Structure 1
């Protein structure tokens, strides 16, 4: 069980001490953000949706259910998922963890799905 919260935040928002360990979870580096300004501890692009399903979804809320199923299936079969989840829970023992992303829509994006996926693995 973790001692600290797992949260998500847009990379364009100011980095704060309360963010703790910041993990950029986008496949492409956010436009217009320097590595210094992003202040991320790790860039976990290997855990992000494939280009194919990302382009098919295209941030259209009406396609979100389809996108969630497709991305969840990718996460289940992604060889990096287990290591990523272990890393998240190890960090949560020492500090908050914030998934950082660039998407404008804070409700219909892959990070919402990734947060849920990671939290379902907590019991295992």
Structure 2
């Protein structure tokens, strides 16, 4: 039972629904700055462009949104080949909770969901 209490928590929020100050370490995980959002609004959040899907992968997914499983596999491969996400796992280790901000209108099938699952797998490994 204590393992569930100590389990890291990764919150996902649309960037358009939040304002600083943030309760937990917060990371914007989009490659492009969200349209219409002023930088002062996200003061205190760290922008980690490098953890977002590559431009080519993002464009391929937007062209074929039904290829979700392919996107997930390819994005996890990209994440495994780099280490930029370790900033997030370090913050997660220190505080136990982090928030990932994303701009997608899609709430269920977006890269932040994949990134969260990838990070949780890294923490439990």
Shorter-chain TM-score bucket reads: 0.7 to 0.9
Q: Which residue of 2 aligns with 1:68?
A: 72
Q: What secondary structure, in the 3-state scheme, does the structure 1 residue paired with 2:33 have?
A: coil
Q: What secondary structure, in the 3-state scheme, does the structure 2 residue paired with 1:58 have?
A: helix
1:100 positional shift: 0.4
- Alpha-carbon distance between aligned partners in 1 of 2:68 and 2:44, rounded to the nearest angstrom: 27
- Alpha-carbon distance between aligned partners in 1 of 2:88 and 2:98, rounded to the nearest angstrom: 12
Say if 2:20 and 2:44, in contact at 8 Å, map to a contact too. no
Q: Does 1:50 align with 2:54?
A: yes
Classify 1:37/1:59 alpha carbon distance in 2 versus 1 (closer, same or farther; 3 Å). farther
- Alpha-carbon distance between aligned partners in 2 of 1:18 and 1:80, rounded to the nearest angstrom: 21
Structure 1 segments of 4+ aligned residues over 3 angstroms from their partners: 1-4, 16-19
Q: Does 1:24 align with 2:25?
A: no
How much is the aligned-residue C-alpha RMSD, in angstroms? 2.3
- Equivalent pairs counted in the alignment come to 121
Q: Deviations over 1:89-119 (max 9, x none)?
A: 23434xx311001000011110000000000
Say if 2:26 and 2:101, in contact at 8 Å, map to a contact too. yes
Classify 1:9/1:121 alpha carbon distance in 2 versus 1 (closer, same or farther; 3 Å). same
The structure showing larger relative contact order (alpha-carbon pairs under 8 Å, at least 6 residues apart) is 1
1:18 positional shift: 6.7
Say if 1:47 and 1:84, in contact at 8 Å, map to a contact too. no
1:46 positional shift: 0.9
Q: Which residue of 1 aligns with 2:98?
A: 97
Q: What secondary structure, in the 3-state scheme, does the structure 1 residue paired with 2:107 have?
A: coil
TM-score, normalised to structure 1's length?
A: 0.84
